[in-house]
Amino acid sequence: MTRGWRWLVPLAAVPVLGLLAYGFTLNPREAPSPLVGRPAAAFTLTSFDGAKLDLADLRGKVVVLNFWASWCYPACYEEAPALERGWKSYRDRGVVVVGVDIQDKDEAARKFINDFRLTFANAPDPGGKVSVDYGVYGVPETFFIDREGRIRAKHVGALSDQMFAEAIEPLLAAAGTTK
Partner 1 sequence: MIPEIGHGALLVALGLALYGGVMSAVGGRRGRPALVESAQHAALGVFVLVTACLLLLIYAFLTFDFSVVSVATNTNLGTPFYYRITAVWGALEGSIVLWSWLLSLYTLIVILRHRTSARELYPWVLMTMLSVIGFFLLVMTVAAPVFARSLPIPPDGRGLNPLLEDSGMITHPVALYLGFTGFTVPFAFAVAALITGRVGDFWITTTRRWTIVAWYFLSLGLLIGGWWSYHVLGWGGYWAWDPVENAAFMPWLTGTALLHSVMIQERRRMLRLWNLALVILTFSLTLFGTFLTRSGVIASVHAFSQGAIGIFFLTFLALVVLSALALLAWRWNDLGAQGELDSIVSRESAFLLNNVLLVAATFTVFFGTVFPLLSEAVKGAKVSVGAPFFNQVNIPLFLSLIFLMGIGPLIAWRRASLDNLKRNFLWPVVIGSVAAIVLRLVGVGSSVAVLSLALTVFVTATITVDLVRATRARRAMGEWTLPALGGLLLRHNRRYGGFVVHLAVLVVAVGVTGSQAWSVQTETTLKRGEEAALAGYRVRFDGLRESQESNHGKVTGSFTVVAGRGAGTVLEPAKKFYPQEQSPIAYVDYRLGFVDDVYLVLGDFARDGSSATVKMQVNRMVSWIWIGGLVLTLGTLLAILPERRRPA
Contact pattern for partner 1 over residues 87 through 116, marking x by CB under 8 A: ---------------xxxx--x--x---x-
Q: Is residue 136 close enough to count as binding partner 1 by CB under 8 A?
A: yes
Least CB distance from residue 19 to partner 1, whole Å? Answer: 6
Of residues 72, 109, 113, 123, which one binds partner 1 by CB under 8 A?
A: 72
Contacts 24+ apart (CB under 8 A), 113-118: 113/48, 116/80, 116/81, 116/84, 117/84, 118/80, 118/83, 118/84
Angle at 120 between CA 114 and CA 124, to 5 degrees: 70
Instruction: Please tell me the distance from the alpha carbon of residue 45 to that of residue 104, in angstroms, as a whole number.
Output: 15
Instruction: Please tell me the distance from the alpha carbon of residue 22 to that of residue 117, in angstroms, as a whole number.
Output: 41
Q: Is residue 13 close enough to count as binding partner 1 by CB under 8 A?
A: yes
Q: Which stretch binds partner 1 (CB under 8 A): 17-25, 38-46, 93-101, 148-156?
A: 17-25
Cα-atom radius of gyration of the chain, to the nearest Å?
21
Instruction: Please tell me the distance from the alpha carbon of residue 141 to that of residue 163, in angstroms, as a whole number.
Output: 13
Residue 14 vs 162, nearer CB to partner 1: 14
Hey, which residues does 54 pair with through a beta bridge? 44
Least CB distance from residue 24 to partner 1, whole Å? Answer: 6
Q: Is residue 69 close enough to count as binding partner 1 by CB under 8 A?
A: yes
Kindly list the residues in this chain that would bind partner 1 in the complex (CB under 8 A): 1, 3, 6-7, 9-10, 12-13, 16-17, 19-24, 26, 28, 69-74, 77, 102-105, 108, 111, 115, 128, 131, 136-138
